[in-house]
Amino acid sequence: MKIFVSSRMNELSIERKTAIDSLRFAGHTPLYIETEPMVKDEKAKAAMDSLIAKADALVSIHYLSEGRQESFLGDLTPIEYEIREFRKQHPEAPILVFRKEADHYPQPSPAMIDWFDRETRLTHVEVRQFRESAQLTKFIVEAVRELKLEPDPAQVTDRIIIRYTGADFIGLIESVSETIFSTYGMNIDYISHAARGGKATLYVSCSPRGNLPKQEELRSVLQARAVEATHVATSEGLLMPGADPNVTPQVLVELDQTTPLEWQFYVEIRTIDAPGQLNAICKVLKELKFNIDELQLKPTEREYRRQTTMNFSISKRDVDEPSECDVELMQLESAIRMLVGVRTFSIKVVTWSSREKFDRGA
C-alpha cells in the first residue's frame, strides 16, 4: 500500500526518516515530500494534494509545534491540512497518529495537542505516544500489521520508458524526477544520463505503484515541465556551456514491452588509454553474443597514468541461469586478458530479482 507520511520536516527529521524506512521495511511504499518547500503557495499545495490523493493510508507524527497557519490551506497548518484532506478524500482509509513525548523542559504547543486530540476523537483514531525513534519503528511495523495492510508486490511488471533530449542545465534530472514522483507517484528503477557540449540525453525506466498513467498525458506533462525548466534555467544562469535555450526539448514516453532482466554480468576492465581498445573488447563481446546493456568509461587512480577503466553491464538472451554461460565466460575472460593493452579484468554476476552479487574472478 501507498502510505503518506505527514510531519514537520525539521522538527521531526529523524523520526520522519524512521517512519519512512519502517514502512518500506514492512513492504509498503512511503509517500512524502522530500524537502521543505522554499515558497509555500498553491504549487506546494498541489504537491501535497497529489500525494494525498494517491495514498491508501496516512501516518501523522507531531511533537512540539504545529507550524504556521496558511491562507491557501484554509487557515490550517500543513500537518493539520494533510490529515483533514486525507480524511476528506479517503473517509474509510486507515490513519495512524503518533505523538513524540517531550522532555521535561520543552513544552509542546497546547493548541497543537488540543487540535490532534479533538481530530482523533472525531475519527476514533488512537494517538500512540513514543519517546525514541526505535520505539517508533516498532509501533509503525506493529500498527500496519494489525491493520492487515496489504504489502506492495516485490516485483513490478509494468514499466514506462521516458527519453529526454535537449539543453543541459543544472537541475535537469531534479525537474524530471520531481514530476515522475510528485505528480504520478512512480518509482525510478533505472536512469542513464549523458551530457556533453551543452546537450543532454536522459533515459529513465520507471514503474507505477498502482495504475499506469496514460502515456500521452505523461508525455505532455513532462514536455511542458521540460520547456518550463529550460526557461527557468536560462533566466537564472543555470544552463551549461554550449546549451542552446532556443532549441525545444523533446520528450518521448512509451510502455516497456520487454521482460525485465533477471541477471546481468558486471564487467570492469582497465586498459591503456589508446585508440582501438574499446573496439577490440566490443568485438570479443559480439563474437560471444553478449549484449552491452550499459557502458561507461571512467578515469583511473593517479598511479595508473594514461589508463582508463571501462565498466560494462552485459547479458545473454535465451539463458535461464548464469551457470549456462560458464564456457562463454571462460572464453570471454581468456580472450579479453589476451588483448593488447588490457591491464586488469573482473566480472560479477548480478541477480536483479534478489540483488545478490557473486564474484567471478579478479
List strand residue ranges (DSSP E) for the chain, in order.
2-6, 29-31, 57-62, 95-100, 127-130, 160-167, 187-196, 199-207, 250-255, 263-272, 291-299, 307-315, 342-351, 356-361
Same fold, 2-146 and 263-361: no
Q: Which of 65, 66, 123, 121 is nearest to 93 (CA)?
A: 123
User: Sorting pLDDT into bands at 50, 70 and 90, what band is 351?
Assistant: confident
The span from the CA of 100 to the CA of 132, in Å, is 8
Average model confidence (pLDDT) for the chain? 87
pTM, full prediction: 0.69
Q: Which CATH class is domain 2-146?
A: alpha beta
User: Sorting pLDDT into bands at 50, 70 and 90, what band is 361?
Assistant: very low
Q: pLDDT tens digit string along 130-180?
A: 988 889 999 999 888 888 877 776 666 788 999 999 999 999 999 898 888
Lowest mean pLDDT among 25-29, 171-175, 313-317, 352-356: 352-356
Q: pLDDT tens digit string along 292-341?
A: 999 999 888 888 888 999 999 999 887 777 788 888 888 899 999 999 99
User: Sorting pLDDT into bands at 50, 70 and 90, what band is 355?
Assistant: very low
* Domain layout of the chain by residue ranges: 2-146, 160-255, 263-361
How would you class 200 by CB atoms within 10 Å of its CB: exposed for 0-12, middle for 13-18, buried for 19 or more? buried
Better-scored residue on pLDDT, 362 or 275: 275
Q: Is the pLDDT of residue 209 over 80?
A: no
91-121: b or e for each residue (b if 16 or more CB lie within 10 Å)? eeebbbbbbbeeeeeeebeeebeebbeebbe
Q: Report whether 7 contacts 32 (CB < 8 A).
A: no
Confidence (pLDDT) at 59: 95
Output the CATH code of domain 160-255. Answer: 3.30.70.260
> Which residue is listed with cell 522532555?
103
263-361 architecture in CATH?
2-Layer Sandwich (3.30)
Q: Is the pLDDT of residue 38 over 80?
A: no
